[in-house]
Amino acid sequence: MHTHHQLITVATEKSFELLDITPQLSNVIKQSGIENGIVSINSQHTTTALTVNEFESRLLNDIENFFKEVAPPEGRYLHNDIHLRDCPPDEPENAHAHLIAMMLGNSESLAVVAGSPQLGTYQSLILAELDGPCERKVSIQVMGQ
């Protein structure tokens, strides 16, 4: 069995943003030379998430509206009491981002067949930025032959 690891960097532009990172994932798999196996993808941040879903503009708006209703940025959260925590004074009030990230999760695993991630017709690997804009790191580990 062979393994290949790579960190990719994704620059986000908004406080809440959904980005299709399937092309970057496919590129890493191709660079690995691994034809058949599994790929593990992990966000390196507590206020981003990864998910597999359809990357369609109206659905993306629905997703954003849903999460902003479930965990509104302006909500009252104990984590946002910066003055009561041992943290830098410029720490953002981002409890809502942590909560959404926990709901979505920070990792995905996919089969690799014939050198490609196995995604359905309408599926994409989506990075959810929940506290941006920011530069984000995603760890990709490909294992197989």
pTM (2 decimals)?
A: 0.96
Of residues 14, 83, 88, 89, the one with CA closest to residue 48: 14
Of residues 55, 31, 48, the one with CA closest to residue 141: 31
Residues 6+ apart with CB under 8 A from 140: 5, 6, 7, 8, 25, 28, 39, 40, 41
Output the six-digit token pair for 58: 């109206």
What pLDDT digit, counting tens, does each position of 23-57 carry? Answer: 999 999 999 999 999 999 999 999 999 999 999 99
Q: Which domains does the chain have, with CATH numbers?
A: 2-144 (2.60.120.460)
DSSP run (H or E) holding 8? strand 2-11
Mean pLDDT over residues 128-140, rounded?
Answer: 98
What pLDDT digit, counting tens, does each position of 72-90 carry? Answer: 999 999 999 999 999 987 8
- Beta strands per DSSP E along 16-122: 17-20, 37-43, 48-53, 107-113, 116-117
